[in-house]
Chains A and B, each alone.
Chain A
């Protein structure tokens, strides 16, 4: 099957990465490389961080977090090739395009804007899919770029009415853009009943792009101003993005395992679609927040 020769690289060691890895490995993905730029030792975070792949080993030797996770993943699917990236001598952003072309899909967990944009650009050049996933205490989100012409086979559509024949699967193409384009996107196409959280996410990404650091509670007012300005620029009302929508996305020092389970589930499904080319991929933002309880997709491109 199509997954047997693909590779993904998961970077980052948050619970979200663990969930995503667990899901794609169980589903039978062919090859996975786990990379931890932080070069953490497994003992450092064992039992504390919600990374359930970091399991007590019978051997007493100290091992890297990535290796510990790989060890657990290997047991879950002995047929897959699961590797820990050993030669982490430089951050992922410094790796050559050639490095990226080993993979069909790169999944970056927890990277800041600048790094994400760089990785996204290299993925485009290497022609591999790009996902960047983030988590806050109350939300889980990701952005995806599968290139300008991602082909896939649709597997039936949304609800068909009684008596209507369901369309047979057919070949379709989806277009994506890079994250730098997405964060300055217009909001005019956002439907009346659509969630505004993805748009709010772009406000936070834009803040990071400009300020070169993540937003925090203290930056709320500035985010509010930015959101209003963006809304006005596309003819939307000033409070198009509610206060709560901005707050729930603010990065937090802790992750909530329950939110990771949800975000990691959706993210894994999308990664599997990206490698198998079966099923309509979500384009291009997904956000779940536990306050509203919604998990929504929204296309945001220039």
Chain B
């Protein structure tokens, strides 16, 4: 068919050599939203050797979009169940399924070298960076992807030919899985979303609809069920006791949950000064907080104040006697959310917020969409096919849009060129600004290197002195030595200390990573504007002040009758798909560069 000279495009791309596909060794990481779709598409496409890694087990909230899983699979490993489901319609396929964390040391560069291509279906930035670094080290092409609601993208990365995943900073959309929101929050925004989406809906929304708070123990205890004749204040106090007290205590019994996390603390009515007769200093006030004399929105309320605002706001909202939806212009609603969020923060050791900040954070919500994952899986597979046929020059980025731009829902773009100053694949230096007299080595390791820069096992060298090392090969006394240095401020470290202008060499053997970190000393820190007490700057700033995890969007389209809202999404007002549309060449021969980036996402 493709013998005609002029059918160039047809021949080049779709001259698929089935043997090449069948022999290819593919590694896919992530067997969730994108992963299920991808495994299905790969298997149907004739891939015979697939390895799938995912550390997660199946949650009931996954079932209405991760279509390879059924109710009977809840609790089982995602990668393994996915494999079994795929074998049911493609008996000849060979899938090695592993329930494992891709950051484990056995998945080193040598391991990655064993594959012809790596396909990511991950849901967090840290793992993406780790895989990016390993693919670069192993010199294996990587197809990256992500979805958020109706929006998605697929990108291709290969050492030496184009940008790696970390060459440019990409602002990431923010979304949070239900289990984090319900059981293990660790950021203020988790608490806000809990208050607004879970508790608010449960108490004031459509009570006939199911809720993620309808857990067995809650239902048994009648925690959210108002008793006949119960005053709204009394009911609110009971909800307080359950949500911030009993429920927390129940969670504390789950040892596994707290292995790597700080344990929460239960609150009590007594501790929050809610015992006895409830009263408001100004019952006729316009809103809950004003009823307790709290006016200034910038002030952070005490725990007791939050508790009182909670009871008042709950009562006021209940007394309206109608189904409510959160409205950020409704003072009682916003105050409810602020109070709940802060009380929850108190449970989990998270810093509380002012009304002003809480309101700002309660932004737009978008429900995630399953079809985007399907579309992205197709795009990933197409790119993988091109790579396996040595057609790297034909690979591209593709963006999936919610609203058509120039009539396009799928927009192809040329791959970016490698950034010579990339911290990961080029030469670069990062700058840390902090108070060197108070910033400790442990702060540097945990908050800067691991958290902001996603370094896995950093080693820090300062001239000839090694200040820090991690990894399997260390002796007991070496580990102790490094730990002891952890508590010391930078200036108090050996060999004269780390002072203003010091340049440290940071490396990570597991990620084949090397870069320089220059330290700049600064004493004045504005607690409000720079709450973290340090700044990270570089040729490419990789971490913004509140760098949050980019979780994969796993949720159901809003049309679902059953099980709405199981995975929630908060998206920035502007989700940038391309970091700079003007610089990048559009792959479609258009006359003029177009602005494909800004999309306002609204409720």
Instruction: State in angstroms the CA–CA spacing of A30 and B562 once bound together.
Output: 10
Whether B403 lies near A158 (C-beta < 8 A) is yes
Interface residue B599 (Cβ < 8 Å from any Cβ of A): yes
Whether A288 lies near B14 (C-beta < 8 A) is no
Determine how close the nearest CB of chain A comes to the CB of B506; give it in whole angstroms: 37
In the complex, chain B residues 344-385 whose Cβ is within 8 Å of any chain A Cβ = 369-372, 374-375, 377-379, 381-382, 385
Are A261 and B375 CB-contacts (below 8 A) given A26-B65, A159-B600?
A: yes
Whether B371 lies near A265 (C-beta < 8 A) is yes
Determine how close the nearest CB of chain A comes to the CB of B566; give it in whole angstroms: 12
Instruction: State in angstroms the CA–CA spacing of A76 and B371 once bound together.
Output: 14
Query: CB-nearest residue of chain A relative to B411?
Result: A294
Query: CB-nearest residue of chain B relative to A269?
Result: B371
Determine how close the nearest CB of chain B comes to the CB of A58; give it in whole angstroms: 10
Instruction: State in angstroms the CA–CA spacing of A26 and B373 once bound together.
Output: 12
Interface residue B595 (Cβ < 8 Å from any Cβ of A): yes
Query: CB-nearest residue of chain B relative to A198?
Result: B407
Give B568-580 as 1s and 0s: 1 = Cβ < 8 Å from A's Cβ atoms. Answer: 0000001000000
Q: What are the residues of chain B within 8 A of A156 when measuring CB–CB?
A: 600-602
Interface residue B544 (Cβ < 8 Å from any Cβ of A): no
Q: What are the residues of chain A within 8 A of B40 when measuring CB–CB?
A: 52
Interface residue B278 (Cβ < 8 Å from any Cβ of A): no
Chain B residues touching A, range: 35 or more
Chain A residues touching B, range: 35 or more
Determine how close the nearest CB of chain A comes to the CB of B61; give it in whole angstroms: 13
Contact of A291 among B9, B378, B558 (CB under 8 A): B9
Contact of B10 among A27, A155, A244, A266 (CB under 8 A): A244
Instruction: State in angstroms the CA–CA spacing of A250 and B562 once bound together.
Output: 41
Whether B412 lies near A293 (C-beta < 8 A) is yes
Contact of A286 among B37, B398, B409, B556 (CB under 8 A): B409
Whether B600 lies near A15 (C-beta < 8 A) is no
Determine how close the nearest CB of chain A comes to the CB of B380; give it in whole angstroms: 8
Whether B406 lies near A256 (C-beta < 8 A) is no
Interface residue B495 (Cβ < 8 Å from any Cβ of A): no
Whether B7 lies near A247 (C-beta < 8 A) is yes
Whether B89 lies near A47 (C-beta < 8 A) is yes
Q: What are the residues of chain B within 8 A of A264 when measuring CB–CB?
A: 374
Instruction: State in angstroms the CA–CA spacing of A153 and B305 once bound together.
Output: 42
Q: What are the residues of chain A within 8 A of B592 when measuring CB–CB?
A: 193
Segment at the interface with A among B94-102, B219-227, B532-540, B583-591: B583-591
Contact of B559 among A3, A53, A266 (CB under 8 A): A3
Contact of B381 among A15, A23, A194, A258 (CB under 8 A): A258
Query: CB-nearest residue of chain B relative to A257?
Result: B44
Determine how close the nearest CB of chain B comes to the CB of A219; give it in whole angstroms: 13
Contact of B396 among A272, A293, A296, A297 (CB under 8 A): A293
Are A15 and B44 CB-contacts (below 8 A) given A26-B370, A262-B379?
A: yes
Give B10-54 as 1s and 0s: 1 = Cβ < 8 Å from A's Cβ atoms. Answer: 100110100000000000000000000100110111000000000
Instruction: State in angstroms the CA–CA spacing of A272 and B8 once bound together.
Output: 37
Interface residue B271 (Cβ < 8 Å from any Cβ of A): no
Interface residue A111 (Cβ < 8 Å from any Cβ of B): no
Contact of A28 among B7, B403, B411, B556 (CB under 8 A): B556
Instruction: State in angstroms the CA–CA spacing of A30 and B371 once bound together.
Output: 17
Query: CB-nearest residue of chain B relative to A253?
Result: B1
Give A255-289 as 1s and 0s: 1 = Cβ < 8 Å from B's Cβ atoms. Answer: 01111111011101100100110101010001010
Whether B412 lies near A27 (C-beta < 8 A) is no
Whether A55 lies near B88 (C-beta < 8 A) is yes
Whether B404 lies near A247 (C-beta < 8 A) is no
Query: CB-nearest residue of chain B relative to A268?
Result: B371
Interface residue B270 (Cβ < 8 Å from any Cβ of A): no
Interface residue B594 (Cβ < 8 Å from any Cβ of A): yes
Of B369, B385, B557, the most chain A CB neighbours within 10 A belong to B557
Whether A258 lies near B385 (C-beta < 8 A) is yes
In the complex, chain A residues 157-182 whose Cβ is within 8 Å of any chain B Cβ = 157-162, 166
Whether B91 lies near A56 (C-beta < 8 A) is yes
Instruction: State in angstroms the CA–CA spacing of A3 and B562 once bound together.
Output: 11
Whether B408 lies near A195 (C-beta < 8 A) is yes
Contact of A193 among B7, B377, B412, B590 (CB under 8 A): B590
Instruction: State in angstroms the CA–CA spacing of A3 and B561 once bound together.
Output: 8
Whether A50 lies near B44 (C-beta < 8 A) is yes
Contact of B378 among A27, A265, A269 (CB under 8 A): A265
In the complex, chain B residues 56-72 whose Cβ is within 8 Å of any chain A Cβ = 64-65, 67, 70
Whether A27 lies near B45 (C-beta < 8 A) is no
Of B1, B65, B600, the most chain A CB neighbours within 10 A belong to B600
Interface residue B4 (Cβ < 8 Å from any Cβ of A): yes
Contact of B410 among A46, A269, A294 (CB under 8 A): A294
Interface residue A99 (Cβ < 8 Å from any Cβ of B): no
Interface residue A91 (Cβ < 8 Å from any Cβ of B): no
Q: What are the residues of chain B within 8 A of A157 when measuring CB–CB?
A: 403
Interface residue B92 (Cβ < 8 Å from any Cβ of A): yes
Interface residue A138 (Cβ < 8 Å from any Cβ of B): yes
Whether A159 lies near B89 (C-beta < 8 A) is no
Which residues of chain A have a CB within 8 Å of any CB of chain B? 1-4, 15, 19, 22-23, 26-30, 46-47, 50-56, 75-77, 79, 137-138, 155-162, 166, 191-195, 217, 220, 243-244, 247-248, 256-262, 264-266, 268-269, 272, 275-276, 278, 280, 282, 286, 288, 290-298
Could you list 29 A-B pairs, sorted by A, with CB under 8 Å?
A: A22-B67, A23-B374, A27-B556, A46-B89, A52-B90, A55-B88, A137-B14, A138-B10, A138-B13, A158-B403, A162-B574, A191-B406, A193-B591, A217-B7, A244-B7, A258-B382, A258-B385, A260-B378, A261-B37, A261-B374, A265-B372, A265-B378, A266-B375, A269-B369, A272-B559, A275-B559, A282-B404, A293-B412, A296-B404
8 A-B pairs besides A56-B89, A257-B381, A297-B404 with CB distance below 8 A are A3-B561, A30-B561, A258-B385, A260-B378, A264-B374, A269-B371, A294-B408, A297-B407
What 8 pairs between A and B have smallest CB-CB spacing?
Answer: A295-B410, A293-B412, A261-B378, A28-B560, A265-B375, A257-B44, A258-B381, A262-B378
